[in-house]
Amino acid sequence: MAIERDNPYAAFNFLVDLGTGDTESIKAGFQEVTGLNNEITLVDYRNGNERANHVRKVSTLYKVGDITLKRGMMGATDLWEWVTTARNGSQQGRNITIQLRDETRENTVMTWKLTNARPMRYTAPAFNAKSASDVAIEELVLSCEDLNIE
């Protein structure tokens, strides 16, 4: 359930549930989530007897963008195991939730629900021996069938 207020919420308090019910462990802690979007396809249409001399825009199908999750490497193989399952032919998707929290981290103020999400790309961290200050970040890109907001 979305909670409105006058000031915008900060983007750094969020929880990700990869369909396992886990939002509290280190494995569920993501640094970044991007790509939460819908795109509606419009087609041009015009009757031959239209009085207006322009086309009408008619809404047709919509599609959900690809969602990217990034987190620091900590030795967990859960994302890779999910990718391996998908690579081996599993069509089983997961229902994933991303919850924006308020500054107290006590209240969920908005939730994005991804329906039937599946891994489509995994990227291991880039390694660089010249930089001692970088964190090794793994990336998982998901494709899903639907996106809803509560």
Q: Per residue in 99-117, pLDDT tens?
A: 999 999 999 999 999 999 9
pLDDT at 21: 92
pLDDT at 28: 85
Q: Which residue has the higher pLDDT, 24 or 63?
A: 63
**pTM for the model:** 0.88
Instruction: Decide if pLDDT at 18 tops 90.
Output: yes
Buried b (16+ CB within 10 A) or exposed e, 118-137: bbeebeeeeeeeeeeeeeee
Per-residue pLDDT tens digits for 65-91: 999 999 998 888 999 999 999 999 998
